[in-house]
Structure 1
Amino acid sequence: MSAKRLPKALFLVLLGSTAPLLAACGASTIEAPFYDTTDVAGFKSYAAPDNIMVMEVHDGQTGIDDASWAKMFSHHGFAPQLDFITPQDAQTRMDNANSSPDQPTLRPRHRMVVVVNPTQNTARNTMCTDPKNAPLTPGQAQTPVRFAFCSGDSAVSELRANIENPVDQKKLNDLAPTVIHYLFPISQPDRNDDHCSRLSPGC
């Protein structure tokens, strides 16, 4: 599968030079999502036929291990809810697949990518092809964290959260349901409908 480009006008509306804030928890915020397809739910079903998806984390800032990241973001959003696993766990499961026919189907190229304090160029498809992060600036009030649902080398959906420092598991737990809700919407709204808010994926 490959992501279908949105019409240019819609792309510009979604991208926007100043993304509106969608959700706040304390001093942490989530910016408006970007969608590169009108069928995120279809990509999700293909990427995780058994509702298990790989989460690739590029952290190096928070001290939170990859397994904890995966656990915090699992079982949120619209049904069927996803159970995230680390790339290492995915490799172990795939290695064992030959010995057990009951192993779930995994498609590691279709994955969720997380980058803590991403570099300026780490956005959109670069989240899937060459994600990089940078050291925190001393005294930095918030840490940006980018989330992308990647289909191979292309971003199906993406958003950025700005999390109050220090970033800890409680703040991430609080934001996880909203992040998953917007990253994996059940359907795309009809953007031509005057009664449908572009900030509501389930509209």
Structure 2
Amino acid sequence: MIKFTINDQVVEAQPGWTVLETARHYGLHIPTLCYHEAVSPSGACRLCVVELRDGDWSKVVISCMYPVAEGINIYTDSPKVQNVRRWILEMLLAQCPAAKEVRDLAAQYGVTKTRFKINDPNEDCMLCGLCVRVCEEVVGAKAISTVGRGAHKQVAPPYMQPTDDCVACGSCLTICPTGAMARRFDMLRGKPKVILGAGSK
């Protein structure tokens, strides 16, 4: 077991665990939007930042991907962490202003508006990639991808064409943290595959 501290509380973690996994094991809250236990972490939303301290030195790291190590000191809600999260939430409010989950979380940190440019006031997708990862890693269909770059990046089927690879399992709908996949689902799937039973012609 690996011993270290979170908010001055001594904790133990299995080798290979991340800071986030350890915090959740001990019931310590770290906000996330792009993380789900069923798929690999990506660090896309950055909301799970924590402060790693060593004497007078410190840095902010993303807890969903930062591996535990003996003797490290982690703080989950320090002033530095709160400041970084407010910046991240401002950027998310600009990226997906229609996402109620983002607005509610931002309000918890006192963020009610953003200084960044809003390209689409109706956008609710935060491009976290959870739908892409669950489709590939859990379902094995690879029917969803992120296409484009920068402000033009979006979740869509490969080559922007509805795909027969979608099995309409609904995993992407379930895992989506903002509900954005609900209005994209019909765009993703092509004609459902018909599986003929024995004796069918």
Query: By the TM > 0.5 criterion, same fold?
Result: no
- In proportion to residue count, which structure has more strand? 1
Between 1 and 2, higher relative CO (CA 8 Å, sep ≥ 6) is seen in: 1
TM-score normalised by length of structure 2: 0.29
TM-score normalised by length of structure 1: 0.28
- In proportion to residue count, which structure has more helix? 2
